[in-house]
Amino acid sequence: MSSKNYYDVTKWNVGNPYEDIGEVINSIIADIKKRQTDSNMNEGGKPGAVIYIPSGDYHLRTQVVIDISYLKIMGSGHGFVSSSIRYNLPENEWADLHEVWPGGSRILVDLSPKPGDEESAGAAFYVERDGNPRISSVEFENFCIDGLHFVDDGSGMPNPENTYTNGKTGIYIGSAQDSFRLTGMGIVYLEHGVTIYHADALSIHDNFIAECGNCIELRGWGQASKITDNLMGAGYKGYSIFAENFGGLLITANNIFPRGTSSVHFRNVARSTITANRFHSFYPGMLVFEGNCSENMVSSNHFLRDNEPWAPMLEYDNGLDDLYGILCISGNNNSVIANHISEIIHTQSIKPAGAKPVIIHIVSGKGNYISDNHIVATTEATDEQTKASDSCFSAQVDALTTTDKLVALDVTAVLVEKESVQNTILDSGSEGQVIIDRTVNAFRATPVPGV
């Protein structure tokens, strides 16, 4: 690896990457900028560089600031382990663990943002550049960003490591950018995994982003991007995927597990696509379209909402009740077609008590098209509380695959509020399961067996 544009953080001549990889990477970036000064030399001149992070533990005490295009930062391992499970073990069991911490090419985010600081102050990687062109083609690949600890958030949660709060962000992109790539990363125990303003042609592909307060937030506005093939799951009070003022976002092939206040939350997003994903959550509001969300497509997804099975998290949820809807939609001309939606909950967990849960809730707007969705709502015949388990994994597998003791639960398959008109609801619920004003909406009931 003799090229001047290839840097190994363990071989750079400034700083100690194990003590502060931020200082090292910033020094490397300064070197690239010092060497690549001519933006138009022989039809080239600023190709950028790759910074390689070998497997290892690297403390980051200085924020990395990226303001050059074509920088690739890559490691040799996403290094995820469940810190949440570990932090809910008795400390005296830690000595028996094979390993305590995440691994791979691992950045330990040792920043200490203060209350009142800008959110970006807590970012391990901060990208910002004004002027033209937009900063382009920065790539993050196959390393681990570990926020290390959550902290007391004042909520009284007994174990502060369960708060999903620490003011830290993995990657924060503050200015408009083009054709960025995040691939094969592991991102864990950060209040914000990835926060990106003004994205264009962004690819977030094949990452592992879990046990973060929020996983992916696309803010400001943006277009023509994709979030594909990721394994993700946010904390109980954050988003797994959030986007606002976006057009042409493609969310597909993701497996998004609990918790997450929502799996996908759109605010004023248009002409975007959510398809072929698997979503699992413990609360209502799995998919939320807020404000004017229009002409979006939600198809061929599998939604599962069931009850929290893990003892340390039993007390917490996203605060929404069962009348909110598993899917809650505001806006015009959206399509919800060919989805499977399972709601498998204990009757005593329903809020408000005795309410009939709502599955698809059309809150406002017009022209939405809800068709050919299969809604399965059941409860356990014995209706015993799931035995909360200390083992997040075995409890979940058990809950996920237990389907044989279930009896039907009465739900509102589709609720169309009075404020919303000219919608078309087809084959998404039987006569008795859909609440809709037929004088201003179109409705065709799913045929009922034996009728």
The mark string for 130-159 relative to its own copies (x by CB under 8 A, - otherwise) is: -xxxxxxx-x--------x-----------
Decide whether 155 or 394 has the Cβ nearer to its own copies: 394
Question: What's the closest the beta carbon of residue 226 comes to its own copies, in angstroms?
Answer: 5
Decide whether 118 or 444 has the Cβ nearer to its own copies: 444
Question: What's the closest the beta carbon of residue 174 comes to its own copies, in angstroms?
Answer: 16
Judged by CB under 8 A, the residue of 206, 217, 290, 308 near its own copies is: 206
Looking up tokens 């995440």, which residue turns up?
102
Stretch of residues binding its own copies (CB under 8 A), selected from 161-169, 317-325, 356-364, 418-426: 418-426
Name residues contacting its own copies, limited to 288-307 (CB under 8 A).
292, 294-297, 299-302, 304
Stretch of residues binding its own copies (CB under 8 A), selected from 219-227, 314-322, 353-361, 379-387: 219-227
Decide whether 273 or 389 has the Cβ nearer to its own copies: 273
Structure tokens at 299: 């198809």
193 binds its own copies (CB under 8 A): no
432 binds its own copies (CB under 8 A): no
How many residues bind its own copies, per CB under 8 A?
A: 162
40 binds its own copies (CB under 8 A): yes
Decide whether 118 or 431 has the Cβ nearer to its own copies: 431
88 binds its own copies (CB under 8 A): no
Q: Hey, is 425 helix, strand or coil?
A: strand
CA distance 192 to 234: 9
CA distance 427 to 444: 6
Structure tokens at 87: 């932090």
Judged by CB under 8 A, the residue of 28, 49, 215, 411 near its own copies is: 49
- How far, in whole angstroms, is CA 247 from its chain's centroid? 18
Name residues contacting its own copies, limited to 341-370 (CB under 8 A).
342, 367, 369
Name residues contacting its own copies, limited to 308-327 (CB under 8 A).
none
E strands, 294-391, where? Answer: 297-299, 302-306, 327-330, 335-337, 340-344, 358-364, 369-371, 374-380
Judged by CB under 8 A, the residue of 61, 65, 221, 323 near its own copies is: 221
250 binds its own copies (CB under 8 A): yes
In terms of Cα–Cα distance, which of 434, 425, 418, 300 is closest to 368? 425
Judged by CB under 8 A, the residue of 62, 84, 225, 261 near its own copies is: 225
* Residues 6+ away with beta carbon under 8 Å from 400: 280, 304
Stretch of residues binding its own copies (CB under 8 A), selected from 111-119, 154-162, 165-173, 242-250: 242-250
Cα 134 to Cα 36, 116, 178, 222, 405: the distances in Å are 18, 29, 6, 13, 56
Q: What is the DSSP string of 38-92?
A: -TTBTTBS---EEEEE-SEEEEE-S-EEE-STTEEEEES------HHHHHTS-GG
Name residues contacting its own copies, limited to 9-28 (CB under 8 A).
10-11
Stretch of residues binding its own copies (CB under 8 A), selected from 156-164, 223-231, 316-324, 355-363: 223-231
112 binds its own copies (CB under 8 A): no
238 binds its own copies (CB under 8 A): no
Cα 157 to Cα 37, 92, 192, 314, 332: the distances in Å are 52, 21, 19, 12, 40
337 binds its own copies (CB under 8 A): yes
Judged by CB under 8 A, the residue of 330, 332, 386, 433 near its own copies is: 332
Question: What's the closest the beta carbon of residue 258 comes to its own copies, in angstroms?
Answer: 9
Q: What is the DSSP string of 90-110?
A: -GGGGGG-S--S--SEEEEE-
Judged by CB under 8 A, the residue of 253, 320, 323, 388 near its own copies is: 253
Name residues contacting its own copies, limited to 91-110 (CB under 8 A).
93-94, 96-106, 108
Judged by CB under 8 A, the residue of 247, 314, 321, 389 near its own copies is: 247
- Between the two ends of the chain, the Cα-to-Cα distance in Å is 73
Burial string for 111-144 (b: 16+ CB within 10 Å, else e) reads: bebeeeeeebbbbbbbbbbeeeebbbebbbbbbb
Question: What's the closest the beta carbon of residue 353 comes to its own copies, in angstroms?
Answer: 26
Judged by CB under 8 A, the residue of 65, 85, 323, 388 near its own copies is: 85
Query: Is there a contact between 105 and 142 (Cβ–Cβ < 8 Å)?
Result: yes
Q: Hey, is 24 helix, strand or coil?
A: helix
Q: What angle do CA 190, 106, 60 make, to 5 degrees?
A: 70
Judged by CB under 8 A, the residue of 276, 314, 323, 435 near its own copies is: 276
In terms of Cα–Cα distance, which of 50, 197, 28, 192 is closest to 123? 192
Q: Hey, is 165 helix, strand or coil?
A: coil
Judged by CB under 8 A, the residue of 14, 35, 45, 355 near its own copies is: 45
Tell me the one-letter amino acid at 98.
H
Q: What stretches of 270-426 show up as alpha helix (H) in DSSP? A: 392-401
